[in-house]
Amino acid sequence: MRLLVVEDDPDLNRQLVLALEDAGYVIDKAFDGEEGLFLGETEPYDAVVLDLGLPEIDGVTVLERWRRSGKVFPVLILTARDRWSEKVAGFDAGADDYLTKPFHTEELLARLRALVRRAAGHVTSTIEIGDLSVDTKGARAFINGSPLKLTSHEFRILSYLSHHVDRVISRSELTEHIYDQDFDRDSNTIEVFIGRLRKKIGTNRIATVRGLGYRLCDPASLDT
């Protein structure tokens, strides 16, 4: 899952990026409204953390412009304390959730997990695909209750596929959602990761749809 953090306070920006990376997300960061607006308009994010008080272009305007150009990614806004009118403006501009500064990192992580999975149509933090369960909170996966040993890249791929279960995901879409913008992207490496993942979770769980991409599915449901 790839997130964008737009926050002008360099310390808070760094803290957020570290905490989110620790939680297994890949992160792009921006330090002002203009940079944030541009990234949000050009890169596909699974969620965005947007401070409202930003230099260059304020957060509410950034959000309005994203929404006007059809961007539907979930947005969590960060607001200063006692600025209730800012929150209202943020929600009216298209925010999905908010946190008031200062906040606990754990709460931010929980809210983001909820936003990402709801955007993908899931209501709980564990996604079940037959006997495969993907724990998006603990960044772990299980088959029949037995934990799988996955690398962080393998988990990212499995997590993205499981959020979009039964949908065909192209290699370029996967690449865009599991690497940040600075990563030297090579879509061939996706194939390698998919190969390793298949060895660990069972070949028949990830179908290759020729020319289109990959689809995570429940092999038991295919037999019937």
| Residues within the interface to Ca ion (CB under 5 A) | 8, 51, 53
* C-alpha–C-alpha distance, residues 124 and 113, integer Å: 9
* C-alpha–C-alpha distance, residues 219 and 206, integer Å: 9
Interacting residues of 203 by C-beta distance below 8 A, sequence separation 6+: none
Task: Report, in Å, the least distance between residue 80 CB and Ca ion.
Answer: 8
Task: Report, in Å, the least distance between residue 8 CB and Ca ion.
Answer: 5
Based on CB atoms, which residue is closest to Ca ion, 40 or 213?
40
Based on CB atoms, which residue is closest to Ca ion, 59 or 213?
59
Based on CB atoms, which residue is closest to Ca ion, 28 or 86?
86
Based on CB atoms, which residue is closest to Ca ion, 8 or 96?
8
* C-alpha–C-alpha distance, residues 21 and 123, integer Å: 23
Judge contact between 41 and 69, C-beta under 8 A: yes
Task: Report, in Å, the least distance between residue 55 CB and Ca ion.
Answer: 8
Based on CB atoms, which residue is closest to Ca ion, 53 or 130?
53
Task: Report, in Å, the least distance between residue 128 CB and Ca ion.
Answer: 39
Interacting residues of 13 by C-beta distance below 8 A, sequence separation 6+: 5, 7, 29, 31
Closest-by-Cβ residue to Ca ion is 53
